[in-house]
Structure 1
Amino acid sequence: MAASAPPAVDERLPLVRLLPLAAQHVLAMIAAPVSTVFLLATGLRLPADRTAALLSATLLLCGAGALLQSFGVLRTGARLPFVMLPGGAAAALFLRTAQEHGAATASGSVLLAAALLLAVLPLYGRIVRFFPPLVMGATVLVIGVNMIDVAAPMAAGGTGLAVVTIAATALGFLLLRGVWRQLSVLLGMAVGTLTAVLTGAPFHHVPGGGVLALPRLFPYGAPHFDLLAALPLMVFALASLAEATGQTVLNSEAVGRTPDPARDVPRTARADAVTSLGAGLLGGTVMVTSAENIGIVQLTGVRSRFVTAGAGGLLVLCGLCAPVARLLAALPTPVVGGASLVIYAVIAAMGIGLLRRTDLTDRGATTVVALTLLAGLLPVLAPEWYRPLPGWVRTLFGSGVPAAALTAVVLSALFARWGPDRRRPAQDAPRVSPSS
């Protein structure tokens, strides 16, 4: 009797098929780490050679994370076709922490956040309930707005190039289909770069002639640990459990595996935490699993985790290949700034999408959203309000994302227990169709 075929997620593909499929995953996610590194490098005023080094380290971490998630080692990694990225919101929090307390403190905060995530995973079931769609939606919306505020100066230095990049990206989303549509951000950056070449716009000069790029430990000096300064990233790490839950369930369904959050989500989050520990050592920010590749799995029908493992291998090679990092680091800042603005506007739109899962006719839910937006946007719109306050208050509430996250979590829990609509009869609740 012939042996049964392995599940689709465990299918081993021949190299001639695996390599182009793996490259497709890399192309779909490469704009995110590039734009995140430029965001950090611009905010920290890193010279071009250190920007290239940070980009090499980030690509290396993305690749290592994809390998860990795809293969799974010692219950670390869900053995699902995941790739990994530096968290967009985490990058904003890292940058705020670095600007207010120093880059060494920001690196220490990443290490503390990763350690906290590892420590709380045994309590996963009790923690994740504090981050329902109401909390996540309001927080992600604030994250998007705060990120736009951080990224806007990158585009301001060359508004024309930024506009061309944004317009080309928007046309890609409008006109392209399938996998090509997922590459719209990358294609927009290509059009912006070509425009820069044709108009004579300046490119960054990146010194160095080596071929091998080895990561450098502690590029900002020895990490400094400050629990209060690290609180925003620690809250983000806890909130990432809700995102990891949704992505793990969605990815399990995409590959035809029966979702088992109790088993798989801690493995997904553990790989996130281990890779984030590496990021803290190499000068990066908190790393998270990426949703982009789930769409590719659904579009192509190729469910094998060995494809994303191949993508991880390609990313490691890119990270170790110095000419690749130097080429990417030479891109004009306004081009990457324009791409960043699109990415972070999409993050804000994702927050709105999460809020649609919430019954906003509920007075408590509306109040939670309103006060969360107030707490999250005031530091952007009126930062002068926070200058007279004590330092610990400014750290906690003077940055929009941690203020929004804490406000949403606390108010959501309070209104769920004591809110005016908590006893509303079920028949008064609006009906939601299965397709909504």
Structure 2
Amino acid sequence: MRILLSGLQWMIFMIAGAIAAPIAIADLYNLTPVETAELIHSTLIALGIAGFLQGLIGHKLPIHEGPAGLWWSIFTIYASLVGVLFTSHLAALQALGGGMMMSGGLFILLSLFKLMDRIARLFTPTVTFIYLLLLILQLSGSFMKGMMGITSSRTMLDGKVLLLSVIVVCITFWLGNSRMLVLQRFSVIISIFFGWLLFAICGNMPAIPQADTIFKLPEIFPFGRPHFDIGTIATACLLTLLLITNAIASIRLMETVMKQKGAVDHQRYLRAGYTSGISHFICGCLGAIGSVPISGAAGFVEQTGMRERKPFLIGCSLVIGISLLPPMMNIIAAIPAPIGYAVTFVIFVKMVGLSLKELQSVIHQERTLIVSGVSLLVGVGLMFMPASATIHLSPIVVAILNNGLICGSLLAIILEQGLIWKGKHGTKHRH
């Protein structure tokens, strides 16, 4: 019973974190309600399969998959290119499907040539610290807006929603620090249900839409056959390298939480690469949003203390099962967004502590201070840059420059490796 409840908690956490991306993208592409439901349906099934495969044969850690922020950016950029590069929204979605399938092939090739391990070595404690801090800072604005009830259609702060969100945050903190192990383990699911009840009492619950059918399988190529062109292939190649950066950071962080740094699994990154390739191919076939292992899983494990793999695999199986049942899917999708933001806020507070713990294993403090200072200033600075400033550049450059997390992390890797190289060659010359 405990394992099943743990799996249910994983399922709700996964769905709550994944539901926003397909809804936002459907709005960008002017999809009909039926097409929007199809996109949510296919994305959740793809994420469930990706998480299950990673947990079973990939990295074998309890890290759920979520819509990759980088793919989200590319979807947004391609929507703005309709009428310029693409004849219609469907043509853009067909190109994105082809791009995801190309990305899947590249993941497998990089793993085949054992390049995943080499990339993983670049993720020193300094780089992991910078990546995590930038991730937290980048998402903090979304959390605060969500908890205040601010959306694209409502730009004014909603006092009632903010108050209810703060109550959910306090409950989640209290449960997570409870001396009762049961309350601590199920703090996320209890907080979500309690928040749901609060919002229902206060009349802030969205209506649950009626489902047309009880059971539904995902459609293959729902937007038409995938399209391949030079621009999309180039975008997919660079995007894959950046996604590897995201994935390795998430795996490294979970290894720290699971206390597995002593017994290093050298094949973990290769297996994760192969599995990511399969997952991206599935996303391309189902017309879903490309996935990536989510760093927030480490905060979730730290909050609940659930380090076992079995509940996680059950959670992924439940996500797949629920996605095939539209009536159940509609109920889960009706969880008020501020509740999800409030619970995730607490989880990311835990991640601030995890990022600072990475600095404890740093040997060259002076080098870390320089790399951290430059990378954080550039990364955070780019987060404040208006999207319109780069609109005249190519899609992939726009996707990178508008992502302070990726720019800051890449700069941290380049700077640290440059300083390490300089230190080694400087020592040789002195001798």
TM-score range, shorter chain: 0.7 to 0.9
Aligned equivalent of 1:212: 215
Q: Does 1:145 align with 2:122?
A: no
1:250-309 deviation per Cα after TM superposition (whole angstroms, max 9, x unaligned): 76959xxx9462234422442233223323433133232855797799868xx7x66655
Amino acid in the other structure paired with 1:125:
D
Aligned equivalent of 2:282: 278
Aligned equivalent of 1:236: 243
Give the TM-score taking structure 2 as reference length: 0.74
* 1:8-27 alignment, distance < 5 Å: 20-27=2-9
Aligned equivalent of 2:84: none
Aligned equivalent of 1:368: 371
Find 2:69's aligned residue among 76, 92, 97. 92
Q: Does 1:190 align with 2:193?
A: yes
Find 1:117's aligned residue among 107, 122, 140. 107
Taking the aligned partners of 2:388 and 2:411, their CA distance within structure 1 comes to: 18
Aligned equivalent of 2:402: 398
Taking the aligned partners of 2:223 and 2:136, their CA distance within structure 1 comes to: 27
Q: Does 1:418 align with 2:410?
A: no
Aligned equivalent of 1:430: none
Closer/same/farther in 2, CA of residues 108 and 375 from structure 1, 3 Å limit: farther
1:129-154 deviation per Cα after TM superposition (whole angstroms, max 9, x unaligned): 12212112201211222122344443
Q: Which structure 1 segments of 5+ residues have no match?
A: 1-18, 425-436
- Where 1:365 maps in the other structure, the secondary structure is helix
Find 2:127's aligned residue among 135, 159, 169. 135
Amino acid in the other structure paired with 1:287:
V
Shift of 1:329: 0.9
Q: Kindly indicate whether the alpha-carbon contact (under 8 Å) linking 1:48 and 1:207 is maintained by their aligned counterparts in 2.
A: no
Amino acid in the other structure paired with 2:64:
L
Amino acid in the other structure paired with 1:178:
L
Q: Kindly indicate whether the alpha-carbon contact (under 8 Å) linking 2:196 and 2:339 is maintained by their aligned counterparts in 1.
A: yes
Q: Kindly indicate whether the alpha-carbon contact (under 8 Å) linking 1:131 and 1:409 is maintained by their aligned counterparts in 2.
A: yes
Which stretch has the larger CA shift, 190-199 or 114-123? 114-123
Taking the aligned partners of 2:210 and 2:364, their CA distance within structure 1 comes to: 54
Q: Does 1:30 align with 2:51?
A: no
Taking the aligned partners of 1:114 and 1:237, their CA distance within structure 2 comes to: 12
Aligned equivalent of 2:153: none
Shift of 1:369: 0.9
Aligned equivalent of 1:261: 265
Aligned equivalent of 2:53: 68
Taking the aligned partners of 1:34 and 1:134, their CA distance within structure 2 comes to: 31
1:344-377 deviation per Cα after TM superposition (whole angstroms, max 9, x unaligned): 4544543333344324632x22111112112211
Q: Kindly indicate whether the alpha-carbon contact (under 8 Å) linking 1:69 and 1:268 is maintained by their aligned counterparts in 2.
A: yes
Root-mean-square deviation (CA), in Å?
A: 3.9
- Where 2:361 maps in the other structure, the secondary structure is coil
Closer/same/farther in 2, CA of residues 34 and 365 from structure 1, 3 Å limit: same
Which stretch has the larger CA shift, 353-362 or 93-102? 353-362
- Where 1:98 maps in the other structure, the secondary structure is helix
Shift of 1:411: 1.0
Closer/same/farther in 2, CA of residues 322 and 163 from structure 1, 3 Å limit: same
Closer/same/farther in 2, CA of residues 366 and 307 from structure 1, 3 Å limit: closer
Q: Kindly indicate whether the alpha-carbon contact (under 8 Å) linking 1:92 and 1:147 is maintained by their aligned counterparts in 2.
A: no
Closer/same/farther in 2, CA of residues 404 and 96 from structure 1, 3 Å limit: same
Shift of 1:383: 2.7
Which stretch has the larger CA shift, 276-285 or 287-296? 287-296
Amino acid in the other structure paired with 1:210:
T
Find 2:342's aligned residue among 338, 344, 347. 338
1:176-222 deviation per Cα after TM superposition (whole angstroms, max 9, x unaligned): 64353243233222222111111111414424232113223455665
Taking the aligned partners of 1:338 and 1:296, their CA distance within structure 2 comes to: 14
* 1:164-175 alignment, distance < 5 Å: 164-175=167-178
Closer/same/farther in 2, CA of residues 232 and 367 from structure 1, 3 Å limit: farther
Taking the aligned partners of 1:353 and 1:217, their CA distance within structure 2 comes to: 44
Amino acid in the other structure paired with 1:236:
L
- Where 1:172 maps in the other structure, the secondary structure is helix
Residues paired across the two proteins, number: 391
Amino acid in the other structure paired with 1:85:
H
Find 1:408's aligned residue among 407, 412, 415. 412
Give the TM-score taking structure 1 as reference length: 0.74
Q: Kindly indicate whether the alpha-carbon contact (under 8 Å) linking 2:280 and 2:291 is maintained by their aligned counterparts in 1.
A: yes
Taking the aligned partners of 2:426 and 2:250, their CA distance within structure 1 comes to: 26
Taking the aligned partners of 2:185 and 2:36, their CA distance within structure 1 comes to: 26
